[in-house]
Structure 1
Amino acid sequence: MNRTYSRLRTALAPLVAALVLAGCATSASIDPSSLPATPTAFKESTGPIASAAPEAQAQGPWWKVFSDPVLDQLVEQASRNNNSVQVAAGRLAQARAIAGATDANRSLQVGLGAGAVRQTDAAANNRPKTVVSAGANLSYEVDLFGKLSGASDAASLDAASREALLRSTQLLVQADVAQTYLSLRALDTERALVRDTLLAYRNTLRLTEVRFKEGDVAELDVARVRTEVASTESEALALDRRRAELEHALAVLVGEVASSFRVTPGEWATALPVIPAGVPSTVLVRRPDVSAAQSTMQAAQARVGVAKAAWFPTFSLTATGGYAAPEIQDLFKMSTRVWGVGALLSLPLFDGGRREAGVQNANAELDIALANYREQILVAFKDVEDQLSALRLLADQSEAQSRSVASSTRATVLSDSRYRNGLVSQLELLDAQRSELRNRRQALQVKAAQYLATVGLIRALGGGWMS
């Protein structure tokens, strides 16, 4: 009895030692001081910053705040057909499939088998005989040290990261569509302004040519107006080229062929939403790219534990049951039943450093994921600060530009009156008209920049500011 107990104790010693050391196989911990400190508030906003953990969540149709049916249609079309979104969706499906396959390793494995073997029988003077068999095989690995559960958790976190990246891709595409469309509408307005000015210059040129033929003005006046007409025509054609490029870019975003895609030029009636102060307080909670980086880091943490668990033994339970007979007609008789149960304990001793290299690789992957997570947090705060400062400065610039447009318009009216009364030369009138056109175009560009910065801020906030 004592001898049997001693043998059993000796056999189980490695397992007991492994159980004692099992605590070492836990996931690696993250030092909170290694992450960027969350500021109490943004420089450009009075609202506090929430420090809650990020969550991948849909933020709804944020683009509808611009109240533009064409924009709504384009964004919804891009959400269905954009290739980048479809690639991200495919990668999410892959990650979920891998997570399912990894989790399946924790389940009971059942298989059926049948076979026929022709062999010699030593007990019967090595005469050949046939053995026919059929049965079921069962196996189950007992997850004593969390290796299987850790691998399953890591795969699930990978899938969560891919889901967040899908949301990030959707948000990026939506923002790109909105910014490209708004740039297109701003360009339509600028094109109309330049072409109206070109029409006025052409009318002036016809009148100047008539007066030149009648001897009222010199040829120099005609040359000056012709110069303005040609220069303005060149600017109009440059705007046409830029519009074609934007329209082609928009076609790619919505998943259509550029040759058959068209956005009809129209009035720029898109509303400009006002984002209230304090709303970017939940930037880390809402941004899907931050959530994806966090899930990737957590998956790397789990894989450190999986790599450490490779040092500990694996314990598997097996069972077989079925029938074996020399003749197929006797296969399923009660007398031919066979069965077996077993347990397998595998304890690795020497592998040339493979497991240690695996732990080092897992730790390196964690360091990379942690650095990427830190970078994503810094980029998130930087993006919000960029757009908030842009909106503040653009508002001041818009007010200053409005004064400039008003002054240049007044100067054109006065110059035209003085020119008609012969008090100034045509050169002064052309200078005033040129200055007014330049200031009006700059005002349009500032307005477009305000729209683009608003979209940029919405994207930086993770797709809106409503809770």
Structure 2
Amino acid sequence: MLTRSPLFIAALALSACTVGPDHTAPDIADITPAKWSWQTAAPRDDSPRGEWWKIFREPELDRLEALALQSSPTLHAAAARVDQARAAARISTADWLPDLRLNADGKREQTSANLPTPIPVDIPRGRVNSFSTLLDLSYEIDFWGKIRREVESARATADSTSASYHNAILTLTGDVAAQYFLLRAADAELNALRRTIALREKFKNLLDDKFKAGAIPETDFARAVTEVATAKAELADVKRQRQEASDTLALLCGRPASSFIVRENPIAAKAPPVIPAGLPAAMLERRPDVASAERTVAARNADIGVAVSAYFPAVKLTGTAGYLSNEVDTLLGGDSRVWSIGPSISLPISGLSVIRFNVKRQKAAREEAIANYRQAVLSAIRDVETSLAQTRYLREQASAVSEALAASTKATDLVRESYERGTLSYFEYLDAERTRLQTERQTAQISAQRHISTVRLIKALGGGW
């Protein structure tokens, strides 16, 4: 035993050898802002994010998000891709174990009396029975780490697919929230337009009576009719926009648009919740698209090891054991037992150029994956910066529009009082009322954009904090 120990240890050492480069996270220090005190981020895309949309305190939004997560075909397809990748990863580990196959065979054949032989031999023609039950073994010894690299690549690919699934969830829930707030903005605009139409209809009727009495010219009455028709046209356009948002929500929720209904609920303009941006490195850890790109780099890196292993000899251990007989009755007898065992070694000779170019191809694939990873990091930084800018400037815009709405509402009331006293014309009141309507609609639109920018910031930060 002592004399065999060095050989056994050497065999283990050879088995532990793994060709190809080990994976290290790509360096992104040159593309990250120094003021952020950046640190290398480890993927944490599978960390719980919670139902982030509940911070908006909108029960209908909660219902739509739950429906989308349950019924979205896009999400179901992403989940199926995860199952495929995980199954592929499990399949790759099968090469670590010997391949055992049980083969049973029975046949009857007739031999030729005219067999081609170098020496003439008179062999009579005959009939031969053959029955066998054999257990075949084949095992490739992983001297160079080819199988380990294949498993490493498959697992990294599965992790990348899983991260893509989390990204699909984040994208889906973010899109549902954005479309919901667009729909609610349309509800607020519809409410304002209907009130305006009712008011303009009232004044149109009053002007109609005055026109018939000869108190005003026909141009004044025609102007009133025009304003009513214009408001109705704007109402139809907002209805169209609302229907488009509703149809998009139906698609996101996996429901037919023809039977999908979200009832109107004009909500008052309110400030969205404040979202802390957090640390940039923590943001990268949560971003599933960044994690997916990083794990794709790991998979392509492992593929290089698989390609390099083709330079080295493949060592296989093969064996066969079982029973072989010319009669069924004696098949399982001791005299019918057969076996064979032995190694086989194959080394490429003429295909070295193919292996070299395959290694070059895999290295290029890794460089592509690194470039895509860096692009994902840059996109993450851009998304956070853009979303923060949107929330900041939309907040300033909302403050200004809110002030304008209060002033235009007061001005409209004052002009209406003057009009009713007869000191101002109807057209002056109409101008003031039109300005108030425009400001009210703008307030609803900016409120929706503020909520949508908050949703985008949450998505840019990876969904949770």
TM-score, L = length of structure 1? 0.89
Give the C-alpha shift of residue 195 in structure 1: 0.9
User: What does 1:64-463 align with in structure 2 at a 5 Å threshold?
Assistant: 64-117=54-107, 118=109, 120=111, 125=123, 127-268=126-267, 272-276=272-276, 278=278, 282-351=282-351, 353-463=353-463
**Equivalent residues of 2:324, 2:331 under 8 A apart:** yes
Equivalenced residue count is 444
Where structure 2 has 5 or more consecutive residues not aligned to the other structure, the ranges are 1-9, 116-120
**Equivalent residues of 1:160, 1:295 under 8 A apart:** yes
CA distance in 2, matches of 1:461, 1:288: 10
Greater shift, 444-453 or 116-125, is seen at 116-125
Greater shift, 337-346 or 351-360, is seen at 351-360
User: What does 1:47-66 align with in structure 2 at a 5 Å threshold?
Assistant: 51-57=40-46, 58-66=48-56
Greater shift, 444-453 or 267-276, is seen at 267-276
CA distance in 2, matches of 1:339, 1:271: 81
Query: Judging changes above 3 Å, is the alpha-carbon distance between structure 1 residues 453 and 280 closer, same or farther for their aligned structure 2 residues?
Result: farther
Give the C-alpha shift of residue 249 in structure 1: 0.9
Give the C-alpha shift of residue 31 in structure 1: 8.3
Give the C-alpha shift of residue 143 in structure 1: 0.3
**Equivalent residues of 2:401, 2:443 under 8 A apart:** yes
**Equivalent residues of 1:66, 1:273 under 8 A apart:** yes
Query: Judging changes above 3 Å, is the alpha-carbon distance between structure 1 residues 29 and 166 closer, same or farther for their aligned structure 2 residues?
Result: closer
Instruction: Name the amino acid aligned to 2:355.
Output: R
TM-score, L = length of structure 2? 0.90
Give the C-alpha shift of residue 102 in structure 1: 1.6
Q: Secondary structure at the match of 1:357?
A: helix
Deviations 1:77-103 (A, max 9, x none): 111111111111111111112212222
**Equivalent residues of 1:142, 1:316 under 8 A apart:** yes
Instruction: Name the amino acid aligned to 1:390.
Output: Q
Deviations 1:409-447 (A, max 9, x none): 121122112222222222111111111111111111111
Match of 1:39 among 33, 38, 47: 33
CA RMSD after TM alignment: 2.5
**Equivalent residues of 1:139, 1:316 under 8 A apart:** yes
Deviations 1:319-353 (A, max 9, x none): 21111111111000111111111111111122162
Instruction: Name the amino acid aligned to 1:129.
Output: V
Give the C-alpha shift of residue 225 in structure 1: 1.3
Q: Secondary structure at the match of 1:310?
A: helix
Give the C-alpha shift of residue 295 in structure 1: 0.7
Where structure 1 has 5 or more consecutive residues not aligned to the other structure, the ranges are 1-14, 43-47
CA distance in 2, matches of 1:32, 1:232: 58
